[in-house]
Amino acid sequence: MLGHLARRLGLQQIRAGLNQPLSESDTRLQSSLHTIRPISMMPLWPFSSQPWDFSQPNSTWSPEMCKVYDHYNALCDTDTENGEKKRGPWRKLPSYNRSIKYATGGIHLSKMIKAKARLFTRNFKEQGATFEYVVFVNKEEKRCVCVFQAGHLLEGAPGHVHGGAIATMIDTVTGTLAGFLSGPIMTANLNIDYRSPMPLGSVVLIHSALDQIERKKQYITCKVTSADESKLYTEATGNPVHKKSHLTQIEVIPCKICGDKSSGVHYGVITCEGCKGFFRRSQSSSVQYSCSRQSNCPIDRASRNRCQSCRLKKCVAQGMSRDAVKFGRMSKRQRDSLFAEVERHRQQQRLQANSVQEPQPLPAYRTGKEPREQSPHLIPPLPPAYPYSVEPELQGCPPEVHPYLECRIGEAQAQSLAYRGSHRRGESNSLSAGRGFDSTRSTPEAILNMSGSEIGFRPFDPESSFFSYPTSLHIEDISASIIRSHRETTQYRPEQLQALRWKVFSREEIHAYQSKSVDEMWQHCAVRLTDAVQYVVEFAKRIPGFRQLCQNDQIALLKSGSMEVVLVRMSRMFNTENNTVFFDGKFAGSELFKSLACGDLLAAVFDFAHNLCVLRLTEQQIAVFTALVLLNADRPCLEDRERVQRVRRDVELALRHILHRDNQESLLHKLYQRVPVLKSLCALHIEKLRWFRQLYPLTVHSLFPPLYKELFGSDTDILTLTSH
């Protein structure tokens, strides 16, 4: 059966012993699948159930580096009179490939900053080739020491370290000390005096100390010496300054108009970018808005685009005006009031983040924001997905591992991370195979009480050999690749469809379509559907990881999933205002397809498109959701389901990442609800095709596009798809 499926889709033979030559039509999908080069995948960072701490010793460290590290690491613990260990004056700081926010007082790892604060020195893939360092800090003495070994890629003059690399390390160390002692900072000034060249590969000490604080400005000195401190390489002074936390974190206050995430003060009011742009457009003299309801429409993030009149009314009521002064020129009373509101929101967030909870099984997923209040009719949050308990040290999942999961790591856990020695690397890797959770494997009962075959999920397997966490960089790359592929494989852009949305068929044109015979209309629609499927094939080839699947599994996924992707993409071309879909260059209602004699199928398809369209998905969300729909590990005839599941897992994390970024996490539940509907629509399509082929076998055999017949036409295909 697998050999038959492979031949019908035009790919080379898969099973041993299938040596039949390929016919001309058999090579169609083969050439299609081989015209695009596979997308190279970024290597994963070595994360397990904990974030990877780059300050731990590794095999590229020289013996001298390890010796100096051991010396300072021993200062982190001291022996008491009873022979017990206690914390010493020094503290080793963990280091990740994202910056860490240090709260005043040195409680670190409260939350990691996302992609905008990427730590430059920790984002090089080759271990030992660039920056190998570890920072020890002494809070009481307000100083730190960094043990640094420069890799071969940092070479400037032959045999010596590039001055820019030295400056980068000085900025990193001074900034780390200032941030640890007094909270978020930024470097305002850094003066460097190079005394002598630094040999490449040598181990040096970077000493940094806080000398003085004047209001928001700090004065820090720094010197770079040899490991035995006998030679001075560089001296520096720096002036880190406190960030204007009230100004830069004003986004903690939600938009005063719709409640969405704000981006600052616009036209005198704290608003999001959407409401800012709306108010700017509303000030045009030619714009006139009116409300068809009684000028009391609710305005929130979901409904803000439904009534422009009430939205503008609320903008004015909140104080938005073209004449409003800018934030920096507010009166002292206004600034104090705004600062108080910012602080109130920040305090609420701190209380929520620091609230102590009893250890409990980790949920299927938890968003990085506190859940909003929801109306009773909305879908409730997901219950826990698996019954396995998790050790307390693994319960906090930092955002670098999973940036849209809630991070609740306590101080004790942070200290545990800070003091963990080099032997933990092997232990950490072993943990990844034996415990943790897989956010893409929540049980279907916990989602919609549906069977696994309806959703395409399986329960978490603690023995899974491929359990690991991709980094946020990897997820962002996957998202960007899928979105780019979607944009390149869709026939019409959103702006083009928007411009054509009121270009509808006339009565005469509708009558002409209705006058077609059944077989003529079926043939016409089969051609249009095949065109859409060809775009889906191109899209599938560019999904990261798809081309790494065996050819049989590529075939199986395309055969059983391409129609589902076409139906999802159709929602882009659906006009909910008049219930029409884009077809043959214009928008058509269901009556245009009357001669197909498939009224129930058409009604179901139009209903699905309407329901998906009202979710107002962005192009990015549609792109990743269609990739997720295609990559279903429960498709029939798959050879390597685990590999398909791995690819699907990354795509689902990309979807969750996008929904989290767009502040629309609740859409995930609603999208999962559409999956079984898609399967029923495809089964109904196959049923109608079987009926049509019984009546018009010659039309199907002679006039239908070969790819359409290969995907949907054979008896075996029909039995497989309908049973699925």
Q: Which residues are catalytic?
A: 171
Which contacts qualify for 288-294: CB closer than 8 Å, 24 or more apart?
A: none
How deeply is 450 buried, as exposed, middle or buried, from its count of CB atoms within 10 A (0-12, 13-18, 19+)?
middle
Instruction: Give CA–CA dist 678/629, Å, rounded.
Output: 9
* Alpha helix segments (H runs only) across 470-594: 472-488, 494-500, 507-514, 518-541, 551-570
**Residues in a beta bridge with 136:** 92, 145
Pick from 314, 309, 342: nearest CA to 258: 314
Q: Which residues contact residue 180 at a Cβ distance below 8 angstroms, ignoring those fewer than 6 apart?
A: 93, 102, 106, 108, 137, 139, 144
By the 10 Å C-beta count (0-12 exposed, 13-18 middle, 19+ buried), 467 is classed as: buried
b/e map of 282-321 (b: 16 or more CB within 10 Å)?
Answer: beeeeeeeeeeeeeebebebeebeebbbbbbbbbeebebe
Distance CA 41, CA 580 (A): 40
Residues 385, 386, 390: CA angle, nearest 5 degrees = 115
Coarse DSSP helix, strand, coil percentages of the chain, rounded to the nearest 5 percent: 45, 15, 40
CA 682, CA 585: separation in Å to the nearest integer? 25
Tell me how far apart the alpha carbons of residues 193 and 75 are, in angstroms, rounded to a whole number.
30
Q: Any residues with CB less than 8 A from the CB of 613 and at least 6 apart, and which?
A: 571, 574, 576
Distance of alpha carbon 536 from alpha carbon 525, whole angstroms:
17
Q: Do residues 496 and 633 touch, judged by C-beta distance below 8 A?
A: no
DSSP secondary structure letter of residue 217: E
Q: Residue 162 burial by CB count (10 A; 0-12/13-18/19+): exposed, middle or buried?
A: middle
Dihedral of alpha carbons 434, 454, 656, 125, sign? positive
Q: CA–CA distance from 379 to each of 125, 299, 661 (Å)?
A: 42, 21, 20
Q: Tokens 């506190």 label which residue? A: 370
Whole-angstrom Cα distance, residue 522 to residue 544?
Answer: 35
Contact status, residue 489 vs residue 539, Cβ threshold 8 Å: yes
Please choose, from the candidates 501, 522, 612, the residue with its C-alpha nearest in 3D space to the C-alpha of residue 564.
612
In contact, 549 and 640? CB cutoff 8 Å: yes
Residue spans of alpha helices (H) in 355-400: none
Distance CA 544, CA 566 (A): 19
Q: How many CB atoms lie within 10 A of CB 263?
A: 16
Contacts of 437 (CB under 8 A, 6+ apart): 362, 364, 385, 386, 388, 390, 460
The CA distances from residue 395 to 11, 232, 430, in Å, are: 46, 45, 17
Distance set, CA 369 to CA 349, 406, 666 (Å): 9, 7, 12
